[in-house]
Amino acid sequence: MEILLHVSDKMIGKIDLLMERVPYLAEEITAVDYDIQSSIIRVILDHEDSSKRQELEQHYDELCASLAQTRVIGKTVVRDNLNDDTVEHRAEPVPSLPAAPYLDETDIVLLEQLDRAFIDIARRHGAELREYPSTFGKSNMVRNQYHINFPQNIIGTATVPHNYKHINEFRQQALSHSHHQSLVPTGEILQPCICYHCYEEHQGSRSSQRRVLTAKGRCFRNEISWRKDAFRRTEFTMREIVFVGDQQWVAETRDNIMHDVWALFDRIGLHGKIETATDPFFFSQDVKTKGTYQMVSNAKYELAAVRTTGQESSIASFNYCEDVLCGKYDIADEQGEQLYSGCVAFGTDRWKEAFLDRHGRDRSLWPSFDEQTGVAVQKGQSQSTTLVQQSVLKHDAEQTVVDILNEIFEGKLEVGREDDLNKAGLDSITTIDLIVGLENKLDIQIRDQDLTVANLTSIRSITDMLNTGYGMAPVEEKQGVASGQTK
């Protein structure tokens, strides 16, 4: 059954968000595509059912309504090695092939070489090796909240209870292939990532010592069956590097590892880019707050490999987690101050597929993984730009910022114009409210590249950004307070 869903003008700019979520509207969906000319999303279901059509259309309307207030920020490319030869010129795109049900010797040799290269990078930054179980227990999930943020990915575990009646029922049902009815969920999940084990290991610790751990494991995510291919699998291998310490060191470590990973990527002849990114939050409130805040603060970068077909696949991520996860796992220094953390994740199977896509399966033709014989790292950077409609206004930008903060905090927040707004109570949610409020009240569209932590630190930094980039008239120097008064 085919269902056509109209994309409204308001949702055109959020089509990527929409297309990522439409496949989850119903289990019966077998294909989704978007016609840019007619602004129509075409959905194919595996059977004819008028009630299912109505249900899906209702859920689509609800999804659009929930995404309507989401502030979309475009990605920024911070490094790439793309050129005219990146994509092979083919008459028609080559579809992705399904993943083979096994690994042969070539696959295994390549995976081992890649993992050794990842470990070398981790060791260079002082990492200790770890190996963890393949499941997250209930107590770990309570802290990491993965099942709440990404419920669409969860694969749970189930067992047959140690009870004679249940064991016999299972045996009988197994004869008719209905034994799943006797399985009882344990409440644990198969790990979708590795890093939360590292945090659990140091849960409740009190030490200012910097720590770096690296671990590899099999991970599991409930991918939609018709979207699976060699790059998108239910079961895959991931290596992560997790680092915990003081704020500046964590931020620098994330960036330094990112530099080393890019050098490896470029050295072995892969093509792609590093760009700002967000986690694939499913629910709009998470997209609006956590996702947009990740973009604003450059908290997450992704390395996307470009295949010879032109398709892009994320193969690594570089995450600056601030003090969020250390707070959840009660990881602090000797004085009880929460530490900061970051992690770098490698999708090892995707690296393998990207490498084979470029170099084939003849090992004699592969480039060397040896850093001494590799190609020099390209240090050039490219910046994506966004066309912005600017309004040249003679407006007291500072007073506008103060007024919006008054509305957000109901006049209860009092800060000087130099004070740190984050420490005063501005979080990811209220930051987005502030951005939207400024755009609405000043009738401007703030450029994505201006939405940085530095520009949003204080009333003064926000005012300077508006005065410099958006034609607001600078006003006489004064001490502004969020209560609307002046000192």
User: β-strands 235-245, 128-130: how paired?
Assistant: unpaired
Q: How far apart are CA 113 and CA 132, in angstroms?
A: 22
Per-residue CA distances from 148 to 35, 41, 155, 238 (Å): 32, 28, 13, 21
Q: Which residues pair with 40 in a beta bridge?
A: 6, 35
pTM over 0.75: no
Number of helical (H) and strand (E) elements in the chain, helices listed first: 17, 14
Spell out, as residue ranges, where the chain has pLDDT lower than 50. 89-95, 281-297, 373-394, 474-487
Position 99 scores a pLDDT of 66
- What burial class does residue 61 get, using C-beta atoms within 10 Å of its C-beta: 0-12 exposed, 13-18 middle, 19+ buried? exposed
E strands, 264-309, are: 272-276, 300-306
Question: Residue 271 corresponds to which tokens in the numbers above?
Answer: 């093509």
Question: Residue 97 corresponds to which tokens in the numbers above?
Answer: 């092939």
In 3-state terms, what secondary structure has residue 219?
strand
Q: How far apart are CA 300 and CA 343, in angstroms?
A: 10
Per-residue CA distances from 47 to 3, 26, 33, 50, 263 (Å): 11, 12, 18, 10, 49
Q: How far apart are CA 114 and CA 353, in angstroms?
A: 11
* pLDDT 10s digits, 168-204: 999 898 988 888 888 999 989 999 999 999 999 999 9
Q: List the one residue out of 435, 446, 437, 439 whose CA is nearest residue 468.
A: 446
Position 390 scores a pLDDT of 33
Position 6 scores a pLDDT of 92
* pLDDT 10s digits, 270-316: 999 999 887 554 444 444 444 444 444 468 899 999 999 899 999 99
